[in-house]
Amino acid sequence: MSFDISTYAPYTPTLVAASAALFAGISVLYGARQVKQTKKALESQAFLSILDTARRISLSENLDTIRDMPRYEDFKKFESEGAAEQQEAVRSVVDFFNDLSHLIEHRYVTPRHIVGIYTLSIKACKDKLLPWWLEGFREKYKSDYYYSHFETLCDNVDGLLRGEDVVWPKARSTRKFSMFYNKLHRARKLSGVR
């Protein structure tokens, strides 16, 4: 019995195509695994950066200052009567949580990363600072858009604690920002600024 390659010649394109498909499939699986590992590494880096920032801004001490503040109901009264330490603590903590909410929205970290660690701290901010501080700050600086991500984070954590299902980011905040961006874009277009 002799081997005649010509009998397999009609199957050569099929075998080559099948081999290429198998190789492509293996490459896709390997690529997907690499993407997953890269995503996990980026999330880990973002998470470590968050913890480093929390330590650098003395988050725990600033939160203690906020928790120990008397209950204010008016931003102007807080600005005139509140100690400079309190005002700095509030601004530092609000900035920090606003940034965390941006990281959640852009999917650098998951809500689980943040909520798992900072639930009680975010709840304390909601209880002590909302709505009076946020409304007063926005009125003082004449914009309803300041700290909308902080507000969203507080509302979502509060909703989770009440057993509600929440969506990250909350549509209200995203819609507000979209409206702001569209107005800004239109104004720039009308003024000729690119």
Which mean pLDDT values do the consecutive 10-residue runs of the chain (194 residues) have?
A: 69 81 86 87 88 97 96 93 95 97 87 90 96 96 94 94 82 51 60 56
Domain membership flag for residue 118: yes
User: 98 with 25, same domain?
Assistant: no
Domain membership flag for residue 5: no
> Using CA atoms, how far apart are residues 134 and 123, in angstroms rounded to an integer?
15
> Using CA atoms, how far apart are residues 36 and 155, in angstroms rounded to an integer?
31
pLDDT at 161: 93
pLDDT at 75: 95
pLDDT at 58: 98
Residue 51's domain comprises 16-56
> Using CA atoms, how far apart are residues 125 and 84, in angstroms rounded to an integer?
18
User: 105 with 153, same domain?
Assistant: yes
User: 143 with 180, same domain?
Assistant: yes
User: 121 with 177, same domain?
Assistant: yes
Give the amino acid at 192: G
pLDDT at 185: 56
User: 75 with 160, same domain?
Assistant: yes
Q: Is the peptide bond before 169 cis (omega within 30 degrees of 0)?
A: yes
Task: Enter the pTM of the model.
Answer: 0.72
User: 103 with 127, same domain?
Assistant: yes
